[in-house]
Amino acid sequence: DVPEVNGLALHAGKQGWSIFVTNSSAVEQTVEVDLPRTGEKPFRQYLYSRDTLPWPGDTPAACSAVEGGGTAAVTLPPQSFCVLSQF
């Protein structure tokens, strides 16, 4: 357990899950996230850091897709957060 890394999962019924993971430390952290098995929808991963913030009005592009029911290794740059979402 790393105190500077936190996570939160939100379930929106039939729409699926969103999982938020934050890294408030000054160094890169890699964590493993257990993804729920949910059927057909993959999780799209969005990473936000100083270097990847979208311009106002832009929709961020997903950097990868991961199937549910397994474990995803997520590498978080310093002071960043990641969203794994089925929405």
Mean pLDDT by 10 residues, the chain (87 residues): 87 90 94 84 87 72 79 91 90
Amino acid 18: pLDDT: 94
Amino acid 1: pLDDT: 62
CB contact at 8 A, 49 and 79: yes
83: CB partners within 8 A, 6+ apart: 18, 19, 20, 45, 46, 48
CB contact at 8 A, 35 and 72: yes
SS3 15: helix
Radius of gyration over alpha carbons of the chain, in Å? 13
Amino acid 22: pLDDT: 95
70: CB partners within 8 A, 6+ apart: 34, 35
Amino acid 59: pLDDT: 67
